[in-house]
Every structure is written in structure tokens, then in C-alpha cells.
Amino acid sequence: MPITTRSQAKQLEDRRSESPAWDCETQSLPENDPDGPPCASPVDATSAESPAINSHTQNAKSPKWLPWQDRFLAREVFAHRPFLAGQHKISAAWDTLAAKMKEDSGDEIERTGSACRTRFKLLIKHQKKNETRSLQKTGTNEEIDDHIKVMIDLVDLVEGYEASKEEFTASTKKQQEMQQKAALQMRASVREKQGQRKRKLMALSESDKENVNSHSRKRVRHQTAIDKAL
């Protein structure tokens, strides 16, 4: 057995204190160890997230709608009809529809209410031009035929609603015009009555003046007759 002097032991201890500690002492290997497993970086951890989450995020941000999403949107709109909401409730109605679509699709369709409304208007526009089938690049014939039927019904509903709004607007406008005309006639009648009353008062005033003057003249003549008699 080799004999270690005190000076050699001290030198060995100094070298140990100067060398870096191995990570394996804390149950891991140093990063520059070629035999050790590489450490996962934050970027790698992010890329290892669930593909479903990434697809949902991209779906929410992407402006592109897929054919099956158009069919899903049309069915949801037909069921809930957010376009029938009042002027001050229309945005909330479409937001509710978007939330319902996300729920019914199992989080596969995650869009804003504004995006759903804009897409629906575009689908209506294409249906009026008979372009719905050409937009359906994927899907079975049965699915596409059912989608076209839904779009035909939606166009009828939208056009009927727009016509009723125009009729209501025209009726309201006509009613307002009639009310304005009646108000003008009433004001004219009031002014006429006020004029008549004013003229009557002026006539009474002139008559009173004449009566006063006539009474004064009579009193003068009566006083003169008395004076002469005396």
C-alpha cells in the first residue's frame, strides 16, 4: 500500500476543493457531459404542449374557416337566430352563439361573436349567388345537401326579417309624419283662436271707448240743460 505523506494529502485535498462539483451528487449530470441526458429547455417544454391546445389557439386566431365549420355555424345560427336580436342586443347575441358553438363542438371551434357574425353574412351573400356548393370542398354529398337546405331557409329568414324591419321603419316614419302634421294643424288652430280672441278684445275695447265717449257727451248735455234751467 503506497504511503501518503502529510504534504501529499494536503495537496490532494486542495485539488479536490478547486475542482467543480459534479451534478450527479444531486441526482443529475452536468450539461456538458456527453453521456448524460440533455436538459429540457423552456422552448422544448413549450413545443411539447398538447397538440389539441395549439390547434385550438390557431383556430381562434386564424381567419380561415373550414367547410365543416361553415356547416356547423349555419346550423347554430338557424337554431339560435342571433340576427333577430334588437339593435342594442345584437353583439351579445352573437357572443352567446360563439360560446355555444365552442361548447357544442367540444372546443373545436373557438371564434369570437364578431367573427361568427361576419362569416354568416358572407355565407348569406354566397348563398344568394348560388355559390354555397362550390365553397364546400370537403364533406359528404348528404352533409353538403343538408347545409344548402339550411342556408336556403336562413336566407328566407333574413330577407323576411329585413322586409319586416323596412316595413316597420316606413310605418313608423309615416306615423311620425302624421303626428307632425297633426301637431302643425293644432298649432295653427291655436294661433287662429288666439287671433280671434285678440280681435274680439280689440273690438270690445273700441266699443267700450265709444260707450264712454257717448256717456260723457250725454252727461255734458245734461249738465248744460240743468245750468240753463237754473
pLDDT digits (tens, 9 = 90+) for 132-145: 999 999 999 999 99
Of 65, 72, 59, nearest to 143 (Cα)?
Answer: 72
In a domain, 219, yes or no: no
12 — pLDDT class (breaks 50, 70, 90): low
In a domain, 41, yes or no: no
In a domain, 103, yes or no: yes
In a domain, 168, yes or no: yes
Which region holds residue 30: left if phi is over 0, alpha if psi is between -120 and 50, else beta? beta
The three-state (H, E, C) secondary structure of the chain, written as one string: CCCCCHHHHHHHHHHHHHCCCCHHHHCCCCCCCCCCCCCCCHHHHHHCCCHHHHHHHHHHHCCCCCHHHHHHHHHHHHHHCHHHCCCCCHHHHHHHHHHHHHHHCCCCCCCCHHHHHHHHHHHHHHHHCCCHHHHCCCCCHHHHHHHHHHHHHHHHHHHHHHHHHHHHHHHHHHHHHHHHHHHHHHHHHHHHHHHHHHHHHHHHHHHHHHHHHHHHHHHHHHHHHHHHHC
The total of structural domains in the chain comes to 1
Neighbours of 209 (CB within 10 A): 10
In a domain, 68, yes or no: yes
The pLDDT score that the predictor gives to residue 172 is 57
pLDDT in tens, 88-141: 999 999 999 999 999 999 999 999 999 999 999 999 999 999 999 999 999 999
Instruction: Please list, in sequence order, all residues whose beta carbon lies within 8 angstroms of the beta carbon of residue 100, skipping any fewer than 6 positions away.
Output: 76, 80
Using alpha carbons, list the distances in angstroms from residue 90 to 81, 96, 109, 164, 176: 10, 10, 21, 17, 26
| For range 200-226, the mean pLDDT | 67
In a domain, 116, yes or no: yes
Q: Give me the domain span that covers residue 153.
A: 57-172
Higher pLDDT, 87 or 221: 87
In a domain, 131, yes or no: yes
In a domain, 47, yes or no: no
